[in-house]
Amino acid sequence: MPATASGNSLRERGVRITRQRQILLELIDGSGKHLDAEELYRLAKEKDPKLNRVTVYRTLKMLKKGGLVDELDLMHYGGDQHYYETRLKQEHAHIICLRCGKVEEFFGDPLQKLRRQVEEHFGFHILLTRTEIGGYCSHCQALRERELEQAVEQDAPAERPRKRG
Amino acid sequence: MPATASGNSLRERGVRITRQRQILLELIDGSGKHLDAEELYRLAKEKDPKLNRVTVYRTLKMLKKGGLVDELDLMHYGGDQHYYETRLKQEHAHIICLRCGKVEEFFGDPLQKLRRQVEEHFGFHILLTRTEIGGYCSHCQALRERELEQAVEQDAPAERPRKRG
DNA sequence: GTTAGTGCAAACCTTTTGCAGCTCT
DNA sequence: AGAGCTGCAAAAGGTTTGCACTAAC
């Protein structure tokens, strides 16, 4: 169970495993999606209504610092918040459809090659990497074209969804 | 000059070239660095003290939308603000030293290969990409080690009371 | 003259901080 | 017992919006 693994690894560093942290770790590990702080908070409150938003932020910060989770921006698709995922062994890129918001993950040798080349070329010691690719998924490409045609007809440009506003 | 090129390209889209926009375009194009909104605002005010911060944000948004500038996060090195650069013909990664903040740019075939593979593999239509790599530059690696050693020494002068003394 | 763009103030969203009290070890 | 963690309130940082006025075309 990944949550337990993280728990152990944290415990060894002298970090206390509180009820709140267990809940949050399980959610980050268990949910198949990339959660942002607010969504994580919402889910966590279902398990413990007293759990505070601040605790979510503090826990995320700690996990980030400890290298247990990675922080993503997902091309700011949904706004300026950050998304989180448990750190995998293998590097991968995130591919975000700017129309439907679907996120794909790409594991491939260009990423490892990039890493190696950067280390060699600059003598750089890499700690974290983030590769994000935005555009339209195969499904949305046709739909997008139709949208644009309609937009021209109606002179009403379609904006992508935002949380604010 | 790039500012003029951008200006023309904008004009063709029916965007008005105001004094404020000229100033901002020149700054983004001319400065060798990656500026964030606040720094851009500061520099712009030197040329026109009446220019408003909001205009900076609105102009950046427009340029982003128009594909004339790219938005970077630089691994949130300096906080949660965004940085901007004029869009180059060639894709490149940003390599950020998390100690000194120095930013290197890497142009290399892994990036083109990544792009091609993602397009082929997912049938994805790529609009923008962002690759950021954080770590320690060659210069800072040694300094970082020394910092850590000193931190340990100052933490535990004679003994090393891990849990209690 | 139109219409897009600006400045100003105020709102907004996300994240952080200070502090008193609670809890894990 | 005591450092570490939590909750609450409040603030901070970065960005956006509403509206009346101004300026580019």
Burial B17-44 (b: 16+ CB within 10 A, else e): eeebbbbbbbbbbeeeebbbbebbbebb
pLDDT at site B152:
54
What angle (nearest 5°) sits at the alpha carbon of residue B94, between those of residues B92 and B98?
170
Indicate the range of A157-161, B86-90, B113-117, B161-165 predicted with least confidence.
B161-165
User: Quick check: B163 pLDDT over 50?
Assistant: no
* Tens-place pLDDT, residues B143-162: 887 876 665 554 443 333 22
**Tens-place pLDDT, residues A74-85:** 999 999 999 999
Q: Judged by CB atoms within 8 Å, which residues 57-116 of A form the interface with B?
A: 71, 73, 75-76, 80, 93, 95, 97-98, 104, 106, 108, 110-111, 113-115
- State what percent of residues in chain B have pLDDT above 70: 84
Interface test with A, best of B65, B109, B129, B163 (most A CBs within 10 A): B129
Query: Is residue A13 scored above 80 in pLDDT?
Result: no
Q: Calculate mean pLDDT across residues A50-54.
A: 96
Distance, CA of B6 to CA of A165 (rounded, Å) = 30
A130 touches chain B (CB under 8 A): yes
Residue B84, both tokens: 């901007």
> How far apart are the C-alpha atoms of B159 and B165, rounded to whole Å?
9
Cα–Cα dist A100/A18, whole Å? 37
Q: Of A110, A121, A131, which is closest to B113 when you measure between CB atoms?
A: A110
Do residues B84 and B34 touch, judged by C-beta distance below 8 A? yes
| Cβ pair A74, A105 in contact under 8 A | no
Overall residue count recorded for chain B in this entry: 165
B10, A140, A107, B77 alpha-carbon torsion, rounded to 10°: 40
* The pLDDT of residue A156: 41
pTM: 0.87
Question: In the prediction, which pLDDT does A161 show?
Answer: 47
Angle at which helices A19-30 and A53-65 cross, to 10°: 70
